[in-house]
Structures are given as C-alpha cells and as structure tokens.
Amino acid sequence: MKRKAIWLLLSSLMVAALVLSSCQPAAVEETKDTETVTGQVTEKEAPKVEEEDEGPAVVEEEGPDMVLDSMGKLKENPQYGGTITFISASGAPTQLLDPVNSTRAVVNGVNVYGRLGTADWSKGPQGTGECPFSSSYIADPFTTGDVVESWEIIDLATMNFKLRENVYWQNRPPMNGRQFVASDVQYSYERSADDPRATGYQAADYVRDPTIPPFFTEHDKFNFTIVYEVPGTRMFHGLMHWTYMQPREVVEMYGDLEDPNGQVGIGPWMLDDAVTDSSLTWSRNPNYYGFDPFFPENRLPYADKLQMIVIPDTATQLAALRTHKTDWQSVPSDKVDGMQKSNPELNLVMMLPDATATIWPRTDILPFSDKRVRQAISMAIDQPAILEDYYEGRAYMLTWPVMPSFADHYTPLEELPASSQLLYGYNPEEAKALLAEAGYPNGFATDVQVSAAWPIGVELMSLVQSWLADVGIDMTIDVVESTTFGNQLWVRSFPGMSFITWGNNGIDDAFGWANGGWVGLDGTRSVYAFANVVDDYAQGVYEELIVTVDPAEQSEIRRLQCLYEIDQCWEIPIPTAAIYRFWTPWLKGYVGERSVGPDPGEDCGVLRFVWIDQDLKEEVTGQRD
C-alpha cells in the first residue's frame, strides 16, 4: 500500500478590535504664508460609563482534533488505547480456538490468525462508498490482500501470489516473531484440507489426485502459485477468504492449536486469556502488518485490549449494554425500542440477517416431491402477518435464495412474476386449489421438527400450524433436543419437514450448497442440501455459472436461477428478523459496517479499525480506560 503523508495546515484568523479614543481637537490659528503655527492638544476626560457586570468569563470548549484522511475527508484524529468489550451469547468461541475448526472457531481466528485476503475497508461507507458492508459476504471487487501484496489470476484454476515482506508471527514462543513466508501458506492449506475437523468450504476442493500437478508451488520466500483442483470462478474467493494461516511449530509442539498457551498468529490481536464458557481477552499486536487505509501511518489496531464476555441470557445482555459494560452489541428486534428509550446516546444500525428462517420439506418423498404442495404451504402461511405483527416490521420478507444485498441479481418481491408473489402473501383459497389439484383435496397430516434450543422457532411454527390447519394440513410440531435435531438434519432423516435458519449470506450458497448444484469430485452432493433436492437443470446452471467469467453474464445467470428456485419452492422461507447493532458513542471510526468477511461469526474483525474517544467516554460514564 502506498503511503501518503497528509499534513493539515491549521490557520487561525486573528481579529483585532480598534479602539478609538475621544480627544479634544487642537485649536489651529489661521496663518499667513510661511508663518509657523503651533498648537496644543488639550485632552479631556471621557465621560465615565458605568461598567456592566459581564458575569463569569466564558471558556470556549475545545472541539475534536480534526484532520484530513487519505481521501481528503475531514475526520477526527484517531487515538490509541483503551478496551473494547463485546459479548457472545454462546460459550462455543471459548471452547474452540483452533482455526482448522473453520466456522466454529472464527472469533479467535479472525483476531489472531490472518488470511491471504480480506475486505477492502477503503471501499466501505467511510471511504469510497462502493460497498455498504451490510453483509458478512465480501464480493470479489471489494477484496484486497491481507498477507498477500499482489496476485495474478492465470486461469480458472491457477493463481500467482506475492506475500507482503512485513508480515511476522507474533513475538511469542515458539514462533518468536519470525518472518512469515510462503512455506507457511502451504502448510496452512494442506493442514486445512487434510485435518478431519476441517469443515471449511474449501477443503473439498483439495482432494489429492496424482494426475494433477501439485497444488502449491513455492518460487521463493515470498512468491508462490496455487493450482485449484476444481476450476471455477469461485477460486479467487475460496483462496482469499476461507483459510487461516497456521503456525507449523505450534502444532508440532502442542499437537493442535486448541491450547490457549499456543495461540501465536500473525493477526491484529494476541490472545492473553481464555476462560471456558466465560471470556476471551486479547491484547494489541504491536507488530501487526496492517495499517489504517484512511491514515496510512497508523498501525492497527487502535485499542490496547479486546474482550469478549459470554452472556447467554438476553436480559443480562441488555443490562450490560445499558450500563456501558459492553461497547458493541446486537439486540433482538423486539428489544430495540426499549434500548433506544433507555439509552438514547447509543448508536444503532439495522442490518440484513445472516440466514433465512426456512421450512425444509423432504422433496424426495410424497407429498413434498410435488411442487404444488410446497407452493400451497407457502401460500397458506400469512407471511405479511409474521412481518408486521410478529416482528412489528423489523424483518425482511424475501431473503431467499439470495439476500437483498446482492442487488445485481436479486429481484424485489414487487417485481417477481405474479405467480411467485402469491407465495409471499396470504392466499389460503389458492392454496386449497393447489392441494386439490395435487390430489389432496382434504389436506394431509405431517410434522415439522424444531430444535428445543430455538424457542422463537417453536413460536413461529405454532403460528404456521394454525394457518395450515385452515387449508386442511394437520401439522404436528416435534420439538427435538438440539443434538438429536442436528443429527437428523445432517443425514436428512427427519420424517416430514424441518424448520431452521440457514446461512445464505454467500452469493451462491443456495444455488450450490442447498439445492444440489455443488457436487464433489467423488460424486457426493452437498451435506447442506437438507431438502434432498436433486435437479439436473439446477446442477447444470451451477456448473455453467462457475465457469462464466464475465460479471454481467454471471449476474444474469444468477437472476434467472433465483426466479426458478423461488418458483420451485424447494424451501419455504418466512420473514426473517433483521439484526440491530448498538454501539457506544465513544467508539469512533465505525458507522455500522458488518464484517471483514466472509463468515457471520467474524463480525468482531471490524474492531481492529475502531478507536476509543476517551474524553467522550469520561464525559458520559465518568471513567477512562
């Protein structure tokens, strides 16, 4: 990154008040020709004016230190120091520290371990505004190098990379601050691909095949080539975002990266303390290679300490935010009004959800193998009532198969074909007609499984149950213990339907993972295809998509496939609650950005860019860090 030194010349305009004295003018005698005339000035005392009591002297408050950033925008000058605290409702991030655990260990992963690429912060709302950062998914045009300085895409299977030369492992044993080199990248990819605990999406793409050239070729310490064994346009995203860099020496010493004492990465934070099911605490990495793109001389992160505390109970979470025990926190949609009323000083942003609340019918068995039945279920549900009454408008109606953030191929509800719009209204008569047409004039009996760990899911299915009864569908709600629920979901052994939130924050998640488009090298289908969708047309479209290079052509393929999948109704989405994030007013350099990507659990990655206004914190709370 080219650094620029930005100097702001602050000039002050000095205003002088000219005070005129009242004087008696000199008496001047008329003269003749060259006679010298002398005169005398006689000063008189000015009349006395009674002084008014001006009261105490007014002291002008000193404003914030404003400077120009690298883009010429006037901003507050960032400050170093302080502690940022956020919460986790689950203790899982404290139990899983090894980044090979993929999406389950991302909180520690995004803070301690770097990757090849990351989000380009300069293109967000505080920079060029090209990317709203409203989703955890980071599209390719908004990706920049993390540990890599540059890259070159040779073809759909090959990329060349050059590492930054200023990247060093954290100065803790056994790494002791040594330089990060190409062999570290190779080790990280091979470990992520081969470790049986790895659940990352990239792992399936590295199946060894002796007929294919080695996937990693090191040219020197900083230059290397990676060959993807599954050619496609998703190569760039997969390589840049989905594998953390892992230290070989630590794995050799500890056996893995789960021991809190063995957390040595290259990221912005160093893990200092881990208390299972209680907290994680990190301190600033003083030799982190990342710099603030808006203030290129400022090494990140700004805060001295980052702390995550585990608070499962919602009421306790809200109390912590109200009393400023936490600085940055998501709040359930039904608690937003109360928080705004009690704490008007807090900032707030409404965000898209990470996942869609979705009913998954077994499309491989009757009656759900009939599209008309699936459509009838969707039409029978009063979707507007869920949106307006249950969520009081704080939700999104249509977030499946893609989120509204993918504007290039997302079709708004009002622009869908009329037949598809019926799926998201409340049309029980049309639902009855479709059931009769499919051979179920009197309806049928079925069940839906819901995890016992998701009480809101049980509430929503109770509403759905009453609406389906109105069209003759007798749906039993089976509340299942969470472990058993998950086991049945993963092997698709639930008898009828399952209700979950499914993470479709990625651009092709539904196309590839949910609806059968992705097929492994060994012929196996995605483990995430819970509805058991097998559709040759959808698979063909996906295979076409991943080899289409032109962005405009990609968008059109996705747009048409969205319309097709909505009509097929393989999954039955219902309105999904928005995410509301609050943050304290003394957190600066943040305007509601979602994530540095790509996983929803990595939202805290944005905190490396955030700084603390200690004066404002003291003004509001009476305390400084």
CATH number of the domain at 225, please: 3.40.190.10
Q: What pLDDT score was predicted for residue 235?
A: 86
Q: Mean of the pLDDT values across residues 87-91?
A: 94
Q: What pLDDT score was predicted for residue 62?
A: 73
Looking at the domain assignment, is residue 598 inside a domain? yes
Is the per-residue pLDDT at 550 higher than 80?
A: yes
Most confident of 40-54, 248-262, 589-603: 248-262
List the one residue out of 481, 352, 471, 473 whose CA is nearest residue 407: 352
Nearest-5° Cα angle at 379, 375 to 381: 120
Residues 209 and 122 in one domain: yes
Looking at the domain assignment, is residue 203 inside a domain? yes
Per the structure, the count of domains in the chain is 2
Looking at the domain assignment, is residue 250 inside a domain? yes
pLDDT grade for 75, boundaries at 50, 70 and 90: very high
- Classify burial at 359, counting beta carbons within 10 Å of its beta carbon; exposed 0-12, middle 13-18, buried 19 or more: buried
Note whether 98 and 105 are within 8 A (CB): yes
**Distance between terminal CA atoms of the chain?**
32
Is the per-residue pLDDT at 478 higher than 90?
A: yes
Looking at the domain assignment, is residue 56 inside a domain? no
Residues 262 and 378 in one domain: no
Write out 567-579 in H/E/C secondary structure. HHCCCEECCEECE
The Cα–Cα gap between 140 and 551 comes to 10
Report pLDDT digits (tens) over 344-373: 999 999 999 989 999 999 999 999 999 999
In sign, the C-alpha dihedral spanning 452, 453, 459, 465 is negative
Q: Mean of the pLDDT values across residues 64-73?
A: 96
CA 397 to chain centre: 20
Residues 412 and 469 in one domain: yes
Tokens of 369: 């193998």
Is the per-residue pLDDT at 493 higher than 70?
A: yes
Q: What pLDDT score was predicted for residue 580?
A: 96
Residues 255 and 127 in one domain: yes
Q: Where are the beta strands (DSSP E) in 428-491?
A: 444-451, 473-480
- Which helix (H) or strand (E) segment holds residue 376: the answer is helix 371-380
Is the per-residue pLDDT at 213 higher than 50?
A: no
Residues 243 and 305 in one domain: yes
Q: What pLDDT score was predicted for residue 424?
A: 97
Q: What pLDDT score was predicted for residue 2?
A: 35
Is the per-residue pLDDT at 5 higher than 80?
A: no
CATH number of the CATH domain containing 462: 3.10.105.10
Backbone angles phi, psi at 212, to 5 degrees: -105, 140
List the one residue out of 266, 264, 160 whose CA is nearest residue 220: 160
Is the per-residue pLDDT at 35 higher than 60?
A: no
Note whether 595 and 119 are within 8 A (CB): yes
Looking at the domain assignment, is residue 70 inside a domain? no
Residues 321 and 422 in one domain: no
Residues 344 and 455 in one domain: no
Residues 561 and 591 in one domain: no
Q: Mean of the pLDDT values across residues 537-564?
A: 94
Q: Mean of the pLDDT values across residues 30-39?
A: 33
Structural domain harbouring 86:
76-351+580-621
- Classify burial at 525, counting beta carbons within 10 Å of its beta carbon; exposed 0-12, middle 13-18, buried 19 or more: middle
Residues 347 and 371 in one domain: no
Residue 598: is the preceding peptide bond cis (ω within 30°)? yes
Q: What pLDDT score was predicted for residue 60?
A: 54
Residues 140 and 200 in one domain: yes
Q: Mean of the pLDDT values across residues 245-252?
A: 97
Q: What is the mean pLDDT of the chain?
A: 87
Is the per-residue pLDDT at 13 higher than 70?
A: no
Q: What percent of the chain lies above the pLDDT cut of 70?
A: 87
Q: Mean of the pLDDT values across residues 215-240?
A: 89
Residues 611 and 557 in one domain: no
Report pLDDT digits (tens) over 449-468: 999 999 999 999 999 999 99
Looking at the domain assignment, is residue 44 inside a domain? no
Residues 368 and 516 in one domain: yes
Report pLDDT digits (tens) over 106-141: 899 999 999 999 999 999 999 999 999 988 888 899
